[in-house]
Amino acid sequence: MAAISKKNPVDLIFSFVTAIASFSVIIFILGILYVLVSESSLAISRFGIIKFLTSTDWNPVTESFGALTNIYGTIVTTFLSLLIAIPVAIGIAIFVTEISPNFLKTPIGIAIELLAAIPSIIYGMWGLFTLSPIMSNYVEPFLKKITAGIPLVSVLFQGTPMGIDILTASIILSIMIIPFTASISRDSFNLTPAVVKESAYALGATKWEVVKNVVIPYSKLGVFGGIVLSLGRALGETMAVAFVLGNNHRITTSLLDAAATITVTLANEFAEADNDVYLSALFYLALVLFVMSFITLAIAKFFLLKAERKYSR
Amino acid sequence: MKVLLRIALVLAVMFSMTHVEAAETLNGAGATFPYPVYSAWAFDYNKITGVQLNYQSIGSGGGVRQITERTVHFGASDDPLKPEQLQKDRLLQFPAVIGGVVPVANLDGINPGQLKLDSDTLCKIFLGEIKTWDAAAVQKLNPGLKLPQGEITVVYRSDGSGTTAIFTHYLAEACPDWKNKVGEGKAVKFPIGIGGKGNEGVANYVKRTRNAVGYVEFAYAKQNKLDYAQLKNKAGNFVEPGFASFEDAAETGDFDAKKDFHLWLTNAPGKGSWPIAGATFILLAKEKTDTNKNVVKFFDWAFKNGDNKAKELVYVPLPKSLKEKIKAYWKANGLQ
């Protein structure tokens, strides 16, 4: 107590205000959790936890609801979009920090930030009117052709190329999340001390070797943090996906099939859900997404902390 | 102190004035389908009376929920509530305007209105039992047409909607298989196909996908120049969708004020009736007589002066006999 009372009163007020700001976050999260749990209690008691998570039936007419198709769609689109986005984003970051001439750095940087500023509904409209015809007319028939006959891979490209499917949705998602990973990776690449890089060059390392052995290991944690941020965005993205995914409550093996994600189902069906169980089931879905995001972020944080400790040793 | 009192007085006067102004605003929420015509009517009505109508098109289900919770002056739904439910939630209900849902397809070399279908083939197509357009059942209805061979892609509404409610009600009524396997509602589990968001989404997918079939409100079929189909109605005639056939359905539909006008306009008995027509309804909270009177004033004005505007926007105005029934209903409930 003595230590605090010695402090300047302004400092006291300052620490008090920041503490309130931080605690408000926790209160918000708890408030959201409370609303989700209480609103979904009807569906929880009706369907249970295991049954809701494993049932693929989503049928408002018979009031029978299961989340598995939605969970599947969410995971697959998120995974695919990260698969596409991460290499591109890191490529952009390496180019901007290590390779590009100075006069190009600013325009590319601004372009990346603009990409993050575009509202998701615009991505959705663009996906529906521009990207999806291109996908269905050119890209998907081509993918079908080159993968035909290859076991396992050809399964991924079965069916009629419609352009309204998991693949198109994942590509749009990946474009949306590239800026997050790219700009954070760029910032952490920039933090690599110039002395270290110069020493490597002095030892005769090539540019590729410097990037591979110095820059990337040095900024691994930052890049990983950027990926986690992208992951969160991809899990929760709604409007852009709603336009090109087709809201199809079935589990399919082909990437050329329509699917449904949790957020898309919520956006599409919330306004018209007219009976209590239906509404409650939608809240239950939201709760599932909340828990899913929490778990993935917790796992990511765990690895981040582990890596940090290993690094600081 | 005196200054404070004066400020309080001025504030009180100001508040009471804004309160008067607030009474001049009508808040409504619900179905997206009639939104264009309600807002066009509201614009004209505002010019004449100064009354603001603020309509949020959040969907029929949302409209029902909002009026049940009494957060708006009126709700709107494409899906008529049953008299028992109206009784339970103390609501009044009357129709406002009529529209039609049209099956649309993307068929090479076939013009809008050329394809003929009946409820049975439509049902089998949407169930996935008829897989190609040149299947015998479809070909039989279209002896003169050269139908394409490719596989049919079914397109449905991915968002919950009154359009889906009307369409699935029609299928369930006409086709026992549909009723048993899928059922009816604003969102149903379609056995095959892909979902488009909104009427525009469905129209877009159908327009782009060869051999696709879907269902949209008539205005969207026309705007997008889609191949809409003729349908065989209850009387056994093939009819084209359009004002005449929607109007015929509206006139032969037996709207009963005793049942709060609860009626589906599907499979209407008239000779020239379009089989998938539907009215959209207004819901009022029974005990709020004062605001209800204002809402009724607006619709009374619209019924008298709004028919041309409605037609311009491809809606069918209510037939005269029905308007009179509604007026009697208002009077009986002390709203006019």
pLDDT score, position A94: 92
pLDDT score, position B17: 52
Alpha-carbon distances, residue A26 vs A19, A31, A32, A120 (angstroms): 11, 8, 10, 27
Please tell me which of the candidates A58, A61, A164 has its beta carbon nearest to residue B205.
A164
Q: State the nearest Cα–Cα gap between A9 and chain B, in angstroms.
A: 35
d(CA A226, CA A115): 15
Cβ–Cβ below 8 Å for A274 and B58? no
For residue B182, list chain A residues with Cβ-Cβ distance below 8 A.
61
User: Bigger pLDDT: A158 or A51?
Assistant: A51
**Eight-class DSSP state of B287:** T
Beta strands in chain A (DSSP E): 58-59, 64-65
Q: List beta partners, residue B26.
A: B53
pLDDT score, position A2: 47
Kindly provide the ipTM of the predicted complex, given to two decimals: 0.75
| Residue B184 CA neighbour count, 13 Å, CB half | 20
Report the DSSP pairing between strands B230-232 and B153-157: unpaired
Helices within chain B (DSSP H only): 2-23, 35-49, 60-68, 83-89, 119-127, 136-141, 162-174, 176-181, 198-208, 218-223, 243-252, 289-305, 307-312, 320-332
| Helix pair A68-94, A262-269: axis angle to 10 deg | 120
pLDDT score, position A25: 94
| 3-state per-residue secondary structure call for A136-182 | HHHHHHHHHHHHCCCCCCHHHHCCCCCCCCHHHHHHHHHHHHHHHHH
Q: What are phi and psi of A61, to 5 degrees?
A: -65, -45
pLDDT score, position A1: 47
B64 to chain A: nearest residue by CA?
A: A274
Please tell me which of the candidates A129, A164, A268 has its beta carbon nearest to residue B194.
A164
d(CA A52, CA B233): 42
d(CA B129, CA B110): 23
d(CA B258, CA B82): 11
Cβ–Cβ below 8 Å for A160 and B61? no
A240 to chain B: nearest residue by CA?
A: B197
Please enumerate in sequence order all residues whose Cβ is within 8 A of that of B18, keeping only pairs 6 or more positions apart, or say none: none
Interface test with B, best of A274, A280, A283, A285 (most B CBs within 10 A): A274
What percent of chain A stands above pLDDT 90? 48
d(CA A114, CA B210): 36
- Say if A136 is an interface residue toward chain B (CB within 8 Å): yes
Cβ–Cβ below 8 Å for A274 and B65? yes
| Helix pair A166-190, A216-236: axis angle to 10 deg | 140
**Eight-class DSSP state of B232:** E
Q: List beta partners, residue B187.
A: none
Going by pLDDT thresholds of 50, 70 and 90, the confidence category of residue A299 is confident
Interface test with B, best of A250, A272, A277, A282 (most B CBs within 10 A): A272
| Residue B233 CA neighbour count, 13 Å, CB half | 25
Report the DSSP pairing between strands B230-232 and B238-239: antiparallel
Q: Are A231 and A300 in contact (CB under 8 A)?
A: yes
d(CA B112, CA B110): 7
pLDDT at A262 over 90: yes
Cβ–Cβ below 8 Å for B195 and A248? yes
Amino acid at B73: H
Alpha-carbon distances, residue B4 vs B11, B12, B97, B252 (angstroms): 10, 12, 53, 67
B168 to chain A: nearest residue by CA?
A: A61
pLDDT score, position B179: 93
Query: In angstroms, how far is the first alpha carbon of chain A from the final one?
Result: 34
Q: List beta partners, residue B284.
A: B74, B92
Alpha carbon A55 to chain centroid, angstroms:
25
d(CA A161, CA A166): 11
pLDDT at A5 over 60: no
Please tell me which of the candidates B79, B185, B201 has its beta carbon nearest to residue A61.
B185
- Say if B196 is an interface residue toward chain A (CB within 8 Å): yes
Please tell me which of the candidates B64, B65, B195 has its beta carbon nearest to residue A247.
B195
pLDDT score, position B11: 63
Mean pLDDT of chain A: 89
pLDDT at A78 over 90: yes
pLDDT in tens, chain B (336 residues): 566 667 666 666 555 555 444 458 899 998 888 888 999 999 999 999 999 999 988 888 888 889 999 999 999 998 899 999 999 999 999 999 998 999 999 998 888 989 999 999 999 999 999 999 999 999 999 998 889 988 899 999 988 888 899 999 999 999 999 999 999 988 899 999 888 888 888 998 899 888 999 999 888 888 888 999 999 999 999 999 988 899 889 888 888 888 899 989 899 898 999 999 999 999 999 999 889 999 999 999 999 999 999 988 888 899 888 999 999 999 999 888
Structure tokens at B160: 């919950």
Cβ–Cβ below 8 Å for A271 and B159? yes
Please enumerate in sequence order all residues whose Cβ is within 8 A of that of B162, keeping only pairs 6 or more positions apart, or say none: B31, B32, B33, B59, B60, B77, B78, B79, B186, B278, B280
- Say if B159 is an interface residue toward chain A (CB within 8 Å): yes
For residue A269, list chain B residues with Cβ-Cβ distance below 8 A.
159-160, 187
Amino acid at A79: F
- Say if A154 is an interface residue toward chain B (CB within 8 Å): no
DSSP reduced 3-state for A203: coil
pLDDT score, position B176: 93
B201 to chain A: nearest residue by CA?
A: A243
pLDDT score, position A51: 93
DSSP reduced 3-state for B90: coil
pLDDT in tens, A127-151: 988 999 899 889 999 998 888 888 8
Please enumerate in sequence order all residues whose Cβ is within 8 A of that of A206, keeping only pairs 6 or more positions apart, or say none: none
The angle subtended at Cα B118 by Cα B117 and Cα B121, nearest 5°, is 80
Alpha carbon B84 to chain centroid, angstroms:
22
- Say if A222 is an interface residue toward chain B (CB within 8 Å): no
Q: State the nearest Cα–Cα gap between B239 and chain A, in angstroms.
A: 30
Q: What pTM does this model have? A: 0.81
What percent of chain A stands above pLDDT 70? 97
For residue B166, list chain A residues with Cβ-Cβ distance below 8 A.
none
pLDDT score, position B158: 87
B206 to chain A: nearest residue by CA?
A: A162
**Would you tell me how many other CB atoms lie within 10 Å of the CB of residue B325?**
18
